[in-house]
Every structure is written in structure tokens, then in C-alpha cells.
């Protein structure tokens, strides 16, 4: 069963977290049905579906009513349930912006505002995530999505972000040092 493109905004869970989900479903069954659209594409529950298959449990499905945006639904269902870092949310925001820009190229500014607000990330984090996705370094993207690397560091490694010191040289403090060493007027009197 395929995932809806909006569902792919969020990374799949892996490792210990996935093993725990498999064990929970094996022990208690699937508690929350998998949400699909009218075409049968998974909107919410890709991890539960994978865990059901691994645990040998028959999955249950529920069809989405189709109201609103699929992307907004997916973000709403996942954002508060999953504990993502700002870097992970920035990657989701960058993918969401990309999706929105494809759907409506004239709404570029709106998609930036919408994705940063919806995912509670800064424009700078969104910038780094977009640069990283544009570079296509799958290893770095995976590191950010798994939460092991900050998006700013990944963008810099991929050549997508400049070091702060390269953009703005450090301020020299010689003038302050000179002022501190000058005798005060009281000392002259």
C-alpha cells in the first residue's frame, strides 16, 4: 500500500522506536486505524502499517473525509504526536513548502509563511533545510531527519550554508582598548 505524498513529509521512525511500536502492536493490537484517502493512499499511519506487517497483525483502515488540505492534515496529525527537533521540523517545512510551490508557483511567499508558521520554525532553519534538500546529500538529510545532526550544520557540510564568521568578520575592539587605557579627565586634574 502506497503512501500519500503528504505523508512522506515526515520521516519514518526507525531503530528502537520502531521495535517498540512493533512490540506494542503485537501485544495490544492496532489501537488507531490507518487513515487513507479516497484512492487508498496512506495519509497517517505508515509506521503503524509497517509495524502491523512485521508483527503479523491485520491492519484496520479508515477513509479520510477529504475536507481541507492533505498536507495540513498530515502535519496536524503528526506534529504534536511526534517529538521532533527544530531541525527535523525544518526539514518537514522545507518539503511542505516545496509541495505547496509545485501546487501553486505564484504563492511562493505564502508557502514560506505557511510552512514556517505551521511547523514553528525560523526562516533561517527553513533556508538551511531547503539548501540541504537542494544539494540532495541523502546521508546528511537522513542524519537531520533522524535527529542526529542539526540542519544548519548539515547545510554547511553540504555547502549550503556559510559560516557566520565568513559572512561577518569579528568586530575588532582596538578602539575600546585605546579608550580604556586613556587617562580620564579626573586623573588629569
Per residue in 32-41, pLDDT (tens digit) is 999 999 999 9
pLDDT digits (tens, 9 = 90+) for 98-124: 877 766 666 555 678 888 888 889 999
Residue 72: the pLDDT is: 83
Residue 71: the pLDDT is: 84
Contact 152, 127 (CB under 8 A): no
Q: Which three cell numbers stand for residue 65?
A: 473525509
Question: Rounded distance, CA 29 to CA 133, Å?
Answer: 37
CA distance to 38, 43, 63, 77, 165, per residue, from 66 (Å):
8, 11, 9, 14, 49
The pTM of this model reads 0.66
Q: Which three cell numbers stand for residue 49?
A: 502499517
| Spans of the chain below 50 pLDDT | 160-189
Rounded to a whole number, what is the distance in angstroms from the first to the last CA of the chain? 88
Amino acid at each position: 500500500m502506497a503512501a500519500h505524498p503528504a505523508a512522506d513529509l515526515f520521516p519514518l521512525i526507525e531503530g528502537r522506536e520502531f521495535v517498540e511500536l512493533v512490540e506494542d502492536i503485537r501485544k495490544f493490537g492496532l489501537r488507531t486505524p490507518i487513515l487513507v484517502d479516497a484512492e487508498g493512499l496512506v495519509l497517517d499511519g505508515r509506521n503503524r502499517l509497517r509495524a502491523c506487517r512485521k508483527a503479523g497483525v491485520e491492519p484496520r483502515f479508515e477513509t479520510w473525509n477529504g475536507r481541507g488540505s492533505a498536507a495540513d492534515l498530515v502535519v496536524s496529525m503528526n506534529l504534536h504526536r511526534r517529538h521532533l527537533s527544530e531541525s527535523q521540523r525544518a526539514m518537514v517545512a522545507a518539503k511542505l513548502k516545496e509541495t505547496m510551490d509545485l501546487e501553486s508557483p505564484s504563492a511562493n511567499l505564502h508557502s514560506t509563511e505557511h510552512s514556517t508558521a505551521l511547523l514553528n520554525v525560523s526562516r533561517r532553519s527553513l533556508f538551511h533545510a531547503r539548501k540541504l534538500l537542494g544539494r540532495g546529500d541523502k546521508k546528511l538529510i537522513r542524519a537531520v531527519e533522524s535527529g542526529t545532526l542539526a540542519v544548519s550544520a548539515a547545510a554547511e557540510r553540504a555547502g549550503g550554508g556559510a559560516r557566520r564568521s565568513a559572512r561577518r568578520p569579528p568586530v575588532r575592539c582596538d578602539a575600546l582598548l585605546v579608550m580604556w587605557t586613556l587617562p580620564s579627565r579626573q586623573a588629569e586634574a
